[in-house]
Chains A and B, each alone.
Chain A
Amino acid sequence: DTAVSQTPKYLVTQMGNDKSIKCEQNLGHDTMYWYKQDSKKFLKIMFSYNNKELIINETVPNRFSPKSPDKAHLNLHINSLELGDSAVYFCASSRGGASGELFFGEGSRLTVL
């Protein structure tokens, strides 16, 4: 049973297109996240949701719109894709609170041509 699963694993698309990445966790966690990992492996938080409510929204262009239909799902929609959006996007979840380790998905590699 995969704890945090995200689809698709690979996504290749043209500049200007719109795409979505889906994420689901079966750990019963209250908090979910999207992280972006660039080509130098640097991991940066994009969004955090707690019980379907947006908690953290780092300086991410508003072309990126997260949606949490319920606390087990956090999807990421990206409009008007740009070359610089090429990266690996990781979904994660945690119990939240003062000691919640993050459980990561396997990542979705987005390549914008």
Chain B
Amino acid sequence: GESVGLHLPTLSVQEGDNSIINCAYSNSASDYFIWYKQESGKGPQFIIDIRSNMDKRQGQRVTVLLNKTVKHLSLQIAATQPGDSAVYFCAENSDNYGQNFVFGPGTRLSVLP
């Protein structure tokens, strides 16, 4: 399940299940979005991106869905593995230079054995 409070929101899933991580973005003018994965002690790493002219994009085991009407982005991870445990961030960009990415608050994904 998912919990939100003073701490980082956490999503716990069983190994092998699918995970869905949600993100509400703030700027209706944003036209480029990225999901990042941050493992403990490391910097964020690119997972998948999507432009505003698309509503779905698939990668290897991951799918990003974009709903511009409600300014919502989701990341779906199929057959979640222990190595997927990390903090996941969505990032939005609205400037033409691609230089100012605004990050969401992050969600911690915990994969249970």
Residues of A within 8 A of B (CB): 4, 31, 33, 35, 40-45, 48, 50, 55-56, 90, 92, 94-107
Do A40 and B98 touch (CB < 8 A)? no
Do B87 and A41 touch (CB < 8 A)? yes
Do B43 and A43 touch (CB < 8 A)? no
Asked if B61 is at the interface of the complex by the 8 Å CB criterion, the answer is: no
Do A40 and B8 touch (CB < 8 A)? yes
Also in contact, A45 and B100, with CB within 8 A (given A102-B46, A107-B43)? yes
Q: How many A-B residue pairs have CB under 8 A?
A: 73
Distance A102 CA – B102 CA, assembled complex (angstroms): 12
Residues of B within 8 A of A (CB): 7-8, 32, 34, 36, 38, 41-46, 49, 51, 87, 89, 91, 96-103, 105-106
Q: Which residues of A contact B43 (CB under 8 A)?
A: 4, 90, 92, 104-107
List 8 interface pairs A-B (beta carbons < 8 Å), by A numbering: A41-B87, A43-B44, A55-B97, A56-B100, A99-B51, A102-B46, A102-B101, A107-B41
Also in contact, A43 and B100, with CB within 8 A (given A98-B32, A104-B43, A106-B42)? no
Q: Which residues of B contact A100 (CB under 8 A)?
A: 98-99
Do B100 and A41 touch (CB < 8 A)? no
Q: Which residues of A contact B44 (CB under 8 A)?
A: 43, 90, 102, 104
